[in-house]
Every structure is written in structure tokens, then in C-alpha cells.
Structure 1
Amino acid sequence: MDEALIKEPANQPSPKNHDGHWPSLLTVVGFVFLTFNSAMGVYRSNGDIGAISFVVFSYLDLVVLFYFLRRFERTPPESPRREHIKMAVWLLTTMLTTAFSYKVAEIMPFPVQLLVWAMAGVSVLGGFYAFFLYQEGTKA
């Protein structure tokens, strides 16, 4: 069983739909749910520019992140574009982590703010290590 796992490539392109272009129904439902919740967040913000900016930024960041993740899945493993797409994915997740950490830390007492920012920093650095520094099969 272990040999079968070793021989199987780590990154396989996602299965394509009948035409290879349109996303699955579950993806469309998730996107509609995200759009509805973002619109409700803007509606309930009562004109607060900071809240609207946060919702719009988070929404756009997530949409672009999902786009690049889909491109990453469909890009062949030997393609040099994969590294550029990985960089875009890491930057988008870093921006989203920073935005959410800012909003959470804003309402917390100072010691918890330090913890929130420390956790965000560990997440960002861990993602950088996993994406760009870690080499599978080597010992660090």
C-alpha cells in the first residue's frame, strides 16, 4: 500500500467537468453563498465606510484567491507558472490573514492582541515555509 502512495504523483489536476470550463455546482453554490453574505454585510454596515471596505476587500480577496487556486490545480506540475501562482496564493492568504487579524485584535484586550498577531505571524511564516522553502523528501 505504501508503494502505491509513493508512485502516485503528489499534485494531480482536478477532474474536469463535461466541458472542462465551468465550475461544479457546489462551487457555484458556495460562490452564491459568499456573495449573499457579503452583500448582507454591506447592507447591515449602516454606511460605515470601514466595515464596507473590510467586507468588499475580503470578498474580492477570496474571489481572486479561489481563482488562483483553481489555476494552480489546473497548471501542470512542471510548468514554471506554478511558482508565480503559488506566490499570488501566498500573498492573497497573507492579506486576508492580516485583515482578519486586524479586525479581531481591534476588539481584544492588549495581551490577547499580542496573541492574535503572533498567531497570524506564525500562520504567514508557516505558509511561506510550506510553499517556498520546504522540499519534500529532504530533511531540514
Structure 2
Amino acid sequence: MSSEHNLCMDEALLKEPANQLALKNKDGRCPSLLTVVGVVFLTFNSIMAVYRSNGDMGAISFVVFSYLDLVVLFYFLRQFERTPPESPRREHIKMVVWLLTTMLTAAFSYKVAEIMPLPVQVLVWAISSATVLGGFYAFFLYQEGTSKA
């Protein structure tokens, strides 16, 4: 590199503000207002659910697990959106997203089935299994543009 090129780069770095907003995305945009409101709403509701649980460790564990699962899921969905389609990292992120959604589906199915009679429990688990298997098929087995018709 020439010294003239280095000088231009140094000048460009000096012109950038020193304290950039940490929430900015890679492309320089801040999260949308709707995203911020959604995360605040999720956090507030989770805190209120823990507060109202009256020390029930099962309920607290469910709320904390669901909250953390959703936050990590949102993070990996954003990473998936930002990763170039040809990147091998994209397949790994897809697997993580599927696992997180599977865990969330199983947790909610367990809580719903817990209070239902046996025939409805079977139905709840059948629907959640179909959802998980359908997600697996859509994410990993289905190839767009390979129809046999």
C-alpha cells in the first residue's frame, strides 16, 4: 500500500464518530422500533410471569427457558439473514434454528398437554411432532425447483 492510500484511510477513520451506537447492525442500521418494542415487551412479560409464579420453580424454569430460547432464536435468525447464501455457515445456523424451534415447540407442547385429558394430549403431541418433522423437511430435505411434475 502506498503512503498516500494509508493517509486517506487514516483520515476516513478520524472522521468517524468515536462513540458509535453499539446496537447498530453490520450494514449501519439500528434495529427497527418494532424490534426494540417486541424485545422490551417479551422481557417485561417474562419478568411479570416470574414475579407472579409465587416461587413455583417449574413455572420459573419454563419462563426462563422460553425467554432465553426465544432471544437466542432471534439472534440466530438475524445471523441467518445476514449470512450469504453460498456460505457453509448458513447450514450450521439453519440447524441451530431448527433445534431451538424444536425445543420451544416441545416445551410449549408439554405445558399444554399437562393440563389436557389423555385424548387431547395425544393430539397435542401429534401436532407438535408434525410441526417439528415438517420443519425438518422444509429446512433440510426439500429442494426448491426439483418437482417431478
Shared fold by TM > 0.5? yes
Following superposition, the deviation at residue 139 of structure 1 comes to: 2.1
Change (3 A) 1:106 1:25: same
Q: CA deviation at 1:42?
A: 0.1
1:18 CA displacement: 9.6
Give the Cα separation in 2 of the matches to 1:99 and 1:21.
34
**Counterpart pick for 1:125 among 117, 129, 133:** 133
Pick the structure with greater CA Rg.
2
How far did 1:19 drift? Answer: 5.7
Residue in structure 2 matching 1:20, options 19, 28, 38: 28
User: 1:107 — aligned with what?
Assistant: 115
* Equivalent-residue separation in structure 1 for 2:27 and 2:89 (angstroms): 24
1:17–1:24 Cα contact (<8 Å) kept:
no
Q: Indicate conservation of the 8 Å contact 1:38/1:55, yes or no.
A: yes
State whether residues 105 and 117 of structure 1, in contact with CA within 8 Å, keep that contact through their aligned partners in structure 2: yes
Quote the offset at 1:23 in angstroms: 1.6
CA deviation string 1:8-50 (max 9, x = no partner): xxxxxxxx96962532111011000000000000000000000
| 1:70 CA drift (Å) | 0.3
Superposition misfits of 4+ residues, deviation over 2 angstroms = 16-22
Q: Tell whether the 8 Å contact from 1:106 to 1:113 is kept in structure 2 after alignment.
A: yes
The match for 2:38 is 30
Which of 73, 80, 84 in structure 1 is aligned with 2:92?
84
Unaligned runs of 5+ in 1: 1-15
The Cα of 1:93 is off from its aligned counterpart by 0.1
Aligned residues between the structures: 125
Evaluate the alpha carbon distance shift between residue 88 and residue 17 of structure 1 in structure 2; reply closer, same or farther with a 3 A threshold: closer
Identity %: 85
The residue matched to 1:138 in structure 2 has which SS?
Answer: coil
Q: CA deviation digits over 1:45-97, x for unaligned, max 9?
A: 00000000000000000000000000000111111100000000000000000
TM-score (norm 2): 0.80
Calculate the aligned-residue CA RMSD, in Å: 1.6
Which one has more relative contact order, counting CA pairs under 8 Å at least 6 apart? 1
